[in-house]
Amino acid sequence: MQRAAVAALVTVLLRLWACATAPVTGRPELLLVPESQEIALGVKAYRETLAKAKLSQDPQINGLVNSVGRRIAAAADHIGLILMAKAGYDPREAPKVFERMMAGRHEQGPPTFLSTHPADAERIRELQALMPEALEYYLH
């Protein structure tokens, strides 16, 4: 009984101490590491990767990798939209996530041909094109 009380107290304290709101979704999230430390860890890992691996300078290979990455992202968006609709979430909210990401971005990303993901505006158009299919799952 005493262990349960201690566990409950620790849980409550963790939620109070580490609870924050995700900026894009507005949902609560549990932060065990401060954002500044998370960013620093990411930068460190990125630099270590760059030190170990040589980046390709071949435009043909880079173009192929980026093209495949964009196709994978588009397929994942399609699957995610259908799954969220089947799970009872309104698929019309999906494009709004990318709209909020665009609004929150301070600088424009790389041109599409240099990116491994489709541009946000393109993703919004694709999601809207898939909306009739997703709504069939959501509304039925």
**pLDDT digit string (tens) for 118-134?**
888 999 999 999 999 99
Residues 69 and 105 in one domain: yes
- The verdict on 37 and 5 lying in the same domain is yes
CA 28 – CA 122 distance, rounded (Å): 28
Q: Into how many domains does the chain fold?
A: 2
> Which structural domain, as residue segments, surrounds residue 50?
1-55
The pair of structure tokens assigned to 91 is: 């698929």
Tens-digit pLDDT profile for residues 58-112: 989 988 998 999 999 999 999 999 999 999 999 999 999 999 988 887 777 677 7
The residues, any chain, with a CB within 8 Å of residue 78's CB and separated by 6 or more, are: 126, 130
69/78 Cα distance (integer angstroms): 14
Q: Does residue 47 sit in the same domain as residue 71?
A: no
The backbone torsions φ and ψ at residue 69, rounded to the nearest 5 degrees and listed phi first, read -60, -40
